[in-house]
Structure 1
Amino acid sequence: MMDLQAILDGIHAELLPRLGEGKVADYIPELAKVDPRQFGLAIATVDGQVHRVGDAEAPFSIQSISKVFMLTLALGKVGEQLWTRVGREPSGSAFNSIVQLEHESGIPRNPFINAGAIAISDVVLSGHAPREAIGELLRFVRYLADDDAVTIDEKVARSETQTGFRNFALANFMRSYGNLDHPVEHVLGVYFHQCALSMNCIQLAKAGLYLAARGSNPATGHSVVSPKRARRINALMLTCGHYDGSGDFAYHVGLPGKSGVGGGIMAVAPGIASIAAWSPGLNKVGNSQLGAVALEMLAARTGWSVFGD
């Protein structure tokens, strides 16, 4: 039996001298204030164990990792017809690129770049007031994490609303092509609040377990999504989950994952575990520098990879 705690402790010890590497996301003023010398790592296994190390209980803004949970909700609402509005291909462009969106007539390349996630928020918003759609997401994530302490950081949401000019441009652009049904400020209200979800590594690792356990919540046995849908969400995370660093992450780590500019990464070892890493310093493509290194070390030491040992 593998000693996961010893593996986590070893990774933590090796990375201690490197704390503070990378650059925090300073274009969102609230995120610019975060101490970059923090690092947390947690593993939740499908058989109910939780292992943690470092700052695994410190809450952080999960940012784009929320896109995985919103995608799950949107697929639950409209099923496969979702893909008439959002593509499933890696973008190869920056996460907030507008050039590609124009070239492709307002259909975002995938659900994990900003434009795609804004279209997903529009789907989840249908039939709801913005506050209800945000409430639906919060309830869903609390259920997945089995923790009512998950909250939305209003300061971060406000900070994003005040500085999200590029996202307003993307949303207006899609609206002009008929790919948004609701008023732009309503859709972005949902989008900025979903990105401001505040979670720690333990909560995030537990929330991702349904993707490791063939679509069911292993703690309760309840089905969250079908096995086929869980597999497809994992496929999208593997190919598109890290902006234009997705290929590099697949090459080095070999697990489906989703990063956020708050410095978090959620990764999935199908059939085995869900993992959350957090370190606020980002690399040049906007992914957690030490988080990605930690996950590469973890994959190497456990042999977890979707591509075999």
Structure 2
Amino acid sequence: MIETIHALIEQYEKIIIHRHERPDPDALGSQLGLAQVLREHYPEKVIYVVGEEEPSLTFLGRMQEVGDHEYAEALVIVCDTANTDRISDKRYSNGGALIKIDHHPNEEAYGDLSWVDTSFSSTSEMIVQFIMTTQMAISSESALLLYAGIVGDTGRFRYTNTTPATLKRASLLIGQGFDQNAFYSNLHKKELKITRLEGYILQHFVVLEECVGVIRLTKEILTTFGVTSAESSQLVNAFSDVEGLLTWVFFVEENDKIRVRLRSKGPVINTIAAQHHGGGHPMAAGATAYSWAETEEIILKLIKATT
């Protein structure tokens, strides 16, 4: 599949790369990292990256404004996005061909070519393998971007999706000599308002059945701290190290729905997310609830899965 994708990339002079909404480090790392590698390897090609920006991650790179007419003869690549509903910028289907590259379970098959492999820790790690197989060069700039994606989805190499192969690919990136200290400083810095909200979360989360953590962030709470729903995602692991905790959930109220962020240290939770308009990894998933009563159903399912 890598060689087939490579052949299709070589056919197009214009490539537009998408990823999922509410981008995390892997979404941006794979999107921007692939773009940087292709720009360096094919300086004659036009490479665009599109989608909404996440302010806390703009240090990795910025998105571009792309006119509708640019899609007519372009190859579109979507990174790190299991289903079309979550693709940022809905023009992804307007190109001459569409490629899906993703490490999530293949909930929705889309694209003319689809490379989906759940054995990889992250889509960024898949891009590293793509580079290795095609023997493209990796600069310090592209290495930093792809390293950011791997770090993000492995929890700094602490999660069980970190394999020996993951570490070998990461070591290849580190060998390119980017500034790791500067990267981690940017990744972990927090605005004062986020730190204030973290304090609130640590004071108000509850633990049910001694193993399930729950926090509810209403619109009023977010307004009080001046934090958006997207910004609150930085704190999803705020109380993850509490002794005995096996699963936890963040409920974040938005205008017409409640964002559900599920995490686990062992019990499978993406099946619960799938029952509530979502999905994801076995131990890191997202969903959507449309009432606080529905959130209570999710909590009960978490307790059942955990105890």
Alignment TM-score > 0.5, same fold: no
TM-score by length of 1: 0.28
TM-score by length of 2: 0.28
From the two aligned structures, give the one with the greater helix fraction. 1
Quick one: higher RCO (CA 8 Å, sep 6+), 1 or 2? 1
